[in-house]
Amino acid sequence: MATILAVDKDPLQLDLLSHLLQGQGHKVHATPEPEQALELLQSQLIDLVILETVLPRHDGFRVCQQMRQLNPYTPLMILSERTDEDQIVRGLTAAADAYVIKSVSPRQLLAQVAALLRRGNLSRSGRWGDDSLSIGEITLNLPQGLALVNGVRVSLTKAELSLLHALMENAGRVLSREQLMEMAWGDGYARLPKMVDVYIRQLRIKIQPHLKGGDYLRSLRGFGYKFELPRPQSAVIN
């Protein structure tokens, strides 16, 4: 059983979500007020936050950032009515681990909740693995859930770290978006392949400034993505 904090402006949505989660044996704190949610996150042991970013009188993405600052290791899902890509990108940039659209089926939602809870348990217990994974300029300290690029610590969400881990473990291999979703986030992840593109974009934004050798994340149109060492530039002979 997990303790889940749900934040939504719609009382009916909170009731439905609470009923669904409690049916799986979870304890649910439900509130429409971000201030109360932040207080609960500080005073209670919360295993997962589910947040609607459309909130009256508040910037939901700012609330997301405040929650991440309070507890960097608690998985955070945005469950929103907003469907456009700009909002999805903004949500992920605000440090959410997943962005799920409210049209998702109850079965998919529960699968996503279970996947986030598993990743949260792995992160807290340190069972990512026994050793660091290092390729070129990028190192993942798996027991601590850290990413280092040329020795610089780069802040990644759990979803970004899981995706980078999957790519690095399969370095040199082209992986489809479906394969990446399964490897990084599990079979229960909501099937939105464009989410992989969003996460790849965010990884590049965070990692690229610290790289000296070039881009390690290659896009192959119509196929997917591949992690590989950049090819050295040929010397110019005058």
Give the domain extent around 215. Answer: 133-227
The string of pLDDT tens digits covering residues 141-177 is: 766 677 889 878 888 888 888 899 999 988 888 999 9
Q: Do 9 and 118 share a domain, yes or no?
A: yes
Q: In this model, does residue 234 exceed pLDDT 60?
A: no
Q: Do 105 and 79 share a domain, yes or no?
A: yes
First to last CA, the chain: 69
Number of domains in the chain: 2
In a domain, 171, yes or no: yes
The string of pLDDT tens digits covering residues 72-83 is: 778 899 999 888
State which amino acid sits at residue 225. Y
Q: Do 205 and 176 share a domain, yes or no?
A: yes
In a domain, 236, yes or no: no
In a domain, 235, yes or no: no
Say which residues have a Cβ less than 8 Å from residue 30's Cβ, sequence separation at least 6: 6, 7, 8, 14, 15, 17, 18
CATH number at residue 20: 3.40.50.2300
CATH number at residue 153: 1.10.10.10
User: By percentage, how much of the chain surpasses pLDDT 90?
Assistant: 36
Q: Do 22 and 108 share a domain, yes or no?
A: yes
Angle between helix axes 158-169 and 194-207 (nearest 10 degrees) is 90
